[in-house]
Structure 1
């Protein structure tokens, strides 16, 4: 008698998206396409909370949900559980096991990816790492500590490498603000690499951060060559590996 072949699990990447631009969806849809090509899942789907659309049809079998968020806040946990009727991060029903994995932005490997991006900038511009400052720019919030906690986690990891002259964190919606930092730079002679801790090319990462940096430069009467903004880290091809790591971390904790 032939042994029954076990069905591959399915994967759903959940992101926030944007009501203002479809470009905010591109990073996740591109990563989903890469994951489909690998053939490790029976299906790879995407869902964006900002759309308010019905949930995609869930296939039979085990089902991984990976929040494509940079912090462990309301959207990456309670909101997803609410949508799927989950009380905890795991739910079993007649169709299979549903498993909510850690947000990609909370993985230690995210610190490694930010470090890789910063080092690539230094190499490209022939800058010694010890002569460069690092600033991690994130959303922040006056209502939740989640974004700050995630940003501090990665900033501390980069500080502990002792590779760079200085490492600090700034935010759009809480202190220290991006614009304030840009206006009060203490070492303008050093190049600063501004790393965007954002999931996609949304208004915050592509408009608000550059605008705040420019405002700071204008206030001090300098040009913007003092820093290089790398854009949202969520665009990096290595984010696919972090999705896989999120699933592996969930499996290790089961």
Structure 2
């Protein structure tokens, strides 16, 4: 990743932008933690966050800080509808009728620079593979499977509203395949084919590791996907209510021994990814 020059952004503000949730406030926790981690490094004059569904809101970004130059980084997985349509609209960088827009603009007297999302950064493949390796190392029962006899499934949301949402997952699948670490690497989606609910039948190995390519451990990762993988919904809800993991590693389902990781939002290198996105946009 790019090295940051001393004081290069000392007069600038950084705003991390995420979706947020009205149902599960923990979904914004990784973004808020990321703000604190970057703020503690004293690289920017100001560091804050904004959300679509939580406070402060995305449209408030120019008034959240005093700095004249503001970098906005979407803490999201893909260049999908949220990142490329909703956020620029709320930031004031595009109109609803526009399909093209500039990632730089003068908004309410501030120079606003809209960066690429963290999820499309080149380091994400290593993050996914690290998640997969760590989960079987942490839960090796009955024996830690060798990667060459294991299927890796990268799971995402998928949506008919934006092809780019799917593309982020498929790109990571191709990049992970190129490493030749696993017996096979497959994509799976909540709302598109190939479906997560059918991925265990598709996998050709006895051992399966599933990495949810989401930023936060929100309702999709802790509730929806375990149910799609075959966990009874009432059992998942009971585990949530008692603050237990909703997937026991490994769990046998459909003749496969399945490990399921957490989302990627707590990865220690995410501050570096954010800083790299800022540096790219500043050039």
Say whether the fold is shared (TM-score over 0.5).
Answer: yes
User: Unmatched 5+ residue regions in structure 2?
Assistant: 1-7, 95-101, 233-250
Residue-pair matches, total: 241
Residue of structure 2 equivalent to 1:154: 172
1:179 touches 1:215 (CA, 8 Å); kept in 2? no
1:64 touches 1:99 (CA, 8 Å); kept in 2? yes
Of 54, 59, 65 in structure 1, the residue corresponding to residue 66 of structure 2 is 59
2:210 touches 2:261 (CA, 8 Å); kept in 1? yes
CA drift at 1:131: 2.0
Of 268, 273, 277 in structure 2, the residue corresponding to residue 237 of structure 1 is 268
- State the distance in 2 between where 1:145 and 1:59 align: 37
SS of 1:233's equivalent in the other structure is: coil
Residue of structure 1 equivalent to 2:4: none
| 1:89-128 → structure 2 map (5 Å cutoff) | 89-92=103-106, 95-124=109-138, 125=140, 126-128=144-146
2:29 touches 2:216 (CA, 8 Å); kept in 1? yes
- State which drifts further: 141-150 or 222-231: 222-231
1:6/1:236 Cα in 2 relative to 1: closer, same or farther (>3 Å)? closer
Of 192, 195, 198 in structure 1, the residue corresponding to residue 211 of structure 2 is 195
| 1:31-46 → structure 2 map (5 Å cutoff) | 31-46=34-49
1:178/1:162 Cα in 2 relative to 1: closer, same or farther (>3 Å)? same
Of 77, 83, 94 in structure 1, the residue corresponding to residue 90 of structure 2 is 83
Residue of structure 1 equivalent to 2:25: 22
Deviations along 1:176-217, one digit per CA (max 9) or x if unpaired, are 1101113x144352x21101111112211111111111259x
CA RMSD of aligned residues (A): 2.3
1:12/1:163 Cα in 2 relative to 1: closer, same or farther (>3 Å)? same
2:173 touches 2:185 (CA, 8 Å); kept in 1? yes
TM-score by length of 1: 0.87
Residue of structure 2 equivalent to 1:73: 80
SS of 1:245's equivalent in the other structure is: helix
Residue of structure 1 equivalent to 2:158: 140
- State the distance in 1 between where 2:109 and 2:160 align: 40
- State the distance in 1 between where 2:72 and 2:134 align: 31
Residue of structure 2 equivalent to 1:247: 278
User: Unmatched 5+ residue regions in structure 1?
Assistant: 217-221
- State which drifts further: 162-171 or 90-99: 90-99
1:110 touches 1:242 (CA, 8 Å); kept in 2? no
1:188 touches 1:226 (CA, 8 Å); kept in 2? no
- Which structure has greater helix proportion? 1
CA drift at 1:7: 4.5
- State the distance in 1 between where 2:105 and 2:40 align: 28
- State the distance in 1 between where 2:193 and 2:259 align: 21
1:148/1:86 Cα in 2 relative to 1: closer, same or farther (>3 Å)? same
